[in-house]
Amino acid sequence: RKEVEQDPGPFNVPEGATVAFNCTYSNSASQSFFWYRQDCRKEPKLLMSVYSSGNEDGRFTAQLNRASQYISLLIRDSKLSDSATYLCVVNRFNDYKLSFGAGTTVTVRA
């Protein structure tokens, strides 16, 4: 079983729509959680860290469910510029190694 699993998508949504997707992780000792965004042929960029209480950054909301071992990302009022692959990333505390999901592709159409 992979450490981090994501629905690869693609999620094709119109501008202004809300899109949400999950990521599951297998290691219950995981303590740090992140969403990265990766544009085509570019490096991953940190979108947001995911805190246990859930957190919001503008149109982006991340939630963590430790009991079920999943993380979610919700994008409201989608923009064309939100089209990208979103990587779910998990780490154990003070462990140098991040575990990456293969990514969920989101395409926002006009």
Binding footprint of other proteins on the chain (CB under 8 A): 4, 32, 34, 41-46, 49, 87, 91, 93-98, 100-103
First to last CA, the chain: 37
> Based on CB atoms, which residue is closest to other proteins, 17 or 60?
60
Which value, to the nearest 10 degrees, does the dihedral of the CA atoms of residues 83, 34, 70, 7 take? 30
* Shortest distance (Å) from residue 91 CB to other proteins: 5
Instruction: Specify the DSSP class assigned to residue 82.
Output: G
The residue among 48 and 78 lying less far from other proteins, judged by its C-beta, is: 48
CB of 8 to other proteins, least distance (A): 9
Helix and strand counts by DSSP (H, E) for the chain: 0, 11
Smallest distance from other proteins to CB 110, Å:
26
Q: Are 6 and 100 in contact (CB under 8 A)?
A: no
Closer to other proteins by Cβ: residue 15 or 95: 95
